[in-house]
Homo-oligomer: A and B are copies of this chain.
Amino acid sequence: MKTLIKNGTVVNSTGTAQADVLVDGETIAAVLAPGSQLLGFDVESNVDTVLDASGKYVIPGGIDAHTHMQMPFGGTEASDTFETGTRAAAHGGTTSIVDFVVQYAGEQVLDQFALWHDKARGNCAIDYGFHQILSDVQDSSLTAMDELVREGVSSFKLFMAYKGVFLSDDGQIVKAMQRASDNGSMIMMHAENGSVIDLLVQQSLAAGNTTPYYHGITRPWQAEAEATHRAIMLANLTGAPLYVVHVSAKQAVEQITIARDTGQNVFGETCPQYLYLSLEDQLGATSEEWGDFEGAKWVCSTPLRSKAEGHQHHMWQSLRTNDIQMVSTDHCPFCMKGQKDMGVGNFAKIPNGIGGVEHRMDLLYQGVVDKKISLERWVEVTSTTPARMFGMYGKKGVIQPGADGDLVIYDPNGHTSIGVGKTHHMNMDYSAYEGFEIDGHVDTVLSRGKVIVDDNQYLGTKGDGEYVHRGLSQYLI
């Protein structure tokens, strides 16, 4: 299968080019000056398919480096399977995800890794890699880290929150960081002070403050800023690179900024929800259907932050200044009915998570339209940096010969209306971004050379997606 995408504007993280892209089989074969001639050879007439991208952007497929498909959590499971979640991702112009293998305390890391392979294998619409979650850091976990690096898993996530579930104590974190420092892998951190949060939650419930709004109130910015600094100090001590997931507080960004200014390998990820949504507007929302439980739709951790405090504004700025390096979704969807509603009367029982894997590329593109980030920065934070950060660059995150044919034709003159019954392929009974309007549109999506989405139609097959064997980070300084 040979495909030529012609007449488009190819966008990469430093700028644009008017160029045609030739995909031969699964791989990009050439990037060519526009026009169907190469030294007299008529390229166009020698391919199977020609996609006309006139007036459109041709970008490397989106990479969502933070998803939780069918993740078991709080007695239920994230509502998107690898099948439904990756298909939704494809619709939104994302052609790779990196999902999290879960290891709870007492479980064996490699067993879990095998289990997650089983869940994903043969089910995905797009390529997928894995990060490994470590909760207790057993001696066998440290050995497993080396093994996993060989298996293409070069990043390990630890939690400073969720005591008794995921939380590692600081000594355990240091042990994992020491190993990462040795084997070159990346430590990812959920940076919130769980001990403080657990107390505040108890006190809030005891005081009768039980609605979703209090989910936000009981996870104050101090708990995030504190844990972020702590993680940075532990990383500094051990020499491990540190990637802080889902940063939402401006004070946490400030800690990352300070560390980065000294040359430490510290990185920050944010998510569309922290750019667009807030404590006041979402967690504090009410509706006819759900009353003051409406906010449950946006219960995730770290929580949505107060717009009065200006976090969202600062997060966009940090994205511009590269104090935040990339944007993932932390896609972890739960339906209101039967899942989120477990927390009626007790916000602490609401499964934590927001689904967004489908909308990241669009939501960030709207930032381009609104002049919050540049076109190049859009590609950088959604594809190029994720690829580099997590050892996929060359195959992913860039349009160049030898790279996988993961490509999106994006129409800046198109339009996308987000919402249930409009664009909504995720397995959720609501949309966290209901009513958002995007001044752009994902027209065509290729995964390793195959058109899997075109004109809003899914043309792929379950199992198209393959496992991505990742290398070490290519983003370290």
Segment from A117-125, A128-136, A227-235, A454-462 that makes contact with B: A227-235
Which candidate, A268-276, A317-325, A406-414, is the interface stretch facing chain B? A317-325
Which A residues, 199 to 226, have Cβ-Cβ distances below 8 Å to chain B?
A: 199-200, 220, 222-223, 225-226
**Is A286 part of the contact surface with B, judged by Cβ < 8 Å?**
no
| A29 sits at the interface (CB 8 A) | yes
The interface residues of chain B lying within 8 Å CB-to-CB of A10 are 400
A369 part of interface (Cβ distance < 8 Å)? no
Give Cα A111 to B22, complex, Å.
49
Tell whether A261 is near chain B: CB-to-CB under 8 Å. Answer: yes
B30 touches A402 (CB 8 A): no
User: Is A72 located at the chain interface by the 8 A CB criterion?
Assistant: no
| C-alpha gap A377/B477 in the complex (Å) | 9
List of B residues within 8 angstroms of A24 by Cβ: 33, 39
Type the 1/0 row for A1-45, where 1 means its CB is closer than 8 Å to any CB of B. Answer: 010000000101111111110101001111111100011110100
A29 to B22, CA, bound (A): 13
Determine the chain B residues whose CB is within 8 A of the CB of A222 once the complex forms: 233-234, 236-237
Residue of B nearest to A238 (CB): B222
Residues in B whose Cβ lies below 8 Å from that of A401? 17-20, 31-34
Closest to A231 in B: B226
Distance of A474 from chain B, by nearest CB (Å): 6
Q: How far, in angstroms, from A170 to B198 measured CA to CA in the complex? A: 10
User: Contact: B196 with A17, CB < 8 Å?
Assistant: no
The answer, yes or no, to whether A84 is at the interface (CB within 8 Å) is no
Pick from A24, A198, A220, A261 the residue with the most CB of B within 10 Å: A261
